Amino acid sequence: MNITLYLLALLFLPLYGFSKETIQKKKQNILNNKAIDTPFEKLKTGIITLENYLDDLSFEEAAICEPASVALHAINQANIKIGDKVVIYGAGPIGMILAQWAKINGAGSVEVVDIDPEKIKFAAKLGFAEYGGSYKANVVIEGTGASSALENCFKTAGNFGRVVLMGNPLGDMNINQKAYWEILRKQLILAGTWNSSYNGKINDWKNSIDAMKNGRLDVKSLITHRYDLKDCNKAFEMMRDKKEFYSKVLFCM
């Protein structure tokens, strides 16, 4: 039995709107390695193929493949050129991975913006300073999903700059007239990004794994907490109540 696939089924099969009876049948199909006949069950082929790439990769690194791939997909929309100045709004785990990908892709400087001073301190430890507004950026990535951050992205971008919209919106995204003028007068290029690519032509997951294997991408530095699975309630309470600063929290089995 593919435990990974079965656990994903528990999480995502209900999202397809199937009845309880249908969901149970499809779970059983996965357990019995039967025919693949839904969009979710087609993941089976992809997961089995992906497992072939995981040799020489630690479990901790493998656990961060998904956010690393999402970040890579976003960076690929930015079309970063050698020496570009890059500013990232949002210094959470994916923001920190974005910053690394930007450097890997040739950015001359990468700085971050966040309203949480603890995240700014953490970013500095990883080598990424806080953006102070002293220059206009060639590439700006919005990773917060907040309207205020989106407006500031347009202000931060220089003429003919590229702005990638990655943050999942918290609600309606509204910008004022001045921010809209920034898009027009600077002739900004806007690009959206969603999830990651895993197909025969573009494989963000394999590229992320390769970058981890050869040491270009360091995701272990993002791990701030490790919990035994039996202590999962403590972990969730810590995150919910914000008792401590955290970036990536892993469960060890």
- pLDDT single digits (tens) 138-173: 999 999 999 999 999 999 999 999 999 999 998 999
What's the confidence (pLDDT) of residue 37? 45
Among residues 1, 2, 29, the alpha carbon closest in space to that of 13 is found at 29
Helix (H) or strand (E) holding 76: helix 65-78
Q: Give the span between the Cα atoms of 212 and 113, in whole angstroms.
A: 25
Say whether pLDDT at 13 is over 90. no
- Interval 93-115 mean pLDDT: 97
Say whether pLDDT at 119 is over 80. yes
**Average pLDDT of every residue of the chain:** 85
Tally of CB atoms within 10 A around 16: 12
Rounded to the nearest 10°, the torsion over CA 193, 149, 247, 111 is 90
Say whether pLDDT at 32 is over 80. no
Superfamily of domain 67-192: NAD(P)-binding Rossmann-like Domain (3.40.50.720)
- Interval 242-246 mean pLDDT: 93
Range of 47-61, 119-133, 196-210 with top mean pLDDT: 119-133
Q: Give the span between the Cα atoms of 78 and 227, in whole angstroms.
A: 36
Q: Do residues 160 and 142 lie in contact, with contact meaning Cβ atoms separated by under 8 Å?
A: no
What's the confidence (pLDDT) of residue 82? 97
CATH 3.40.50.720, the chain: domain bounds = 67-192
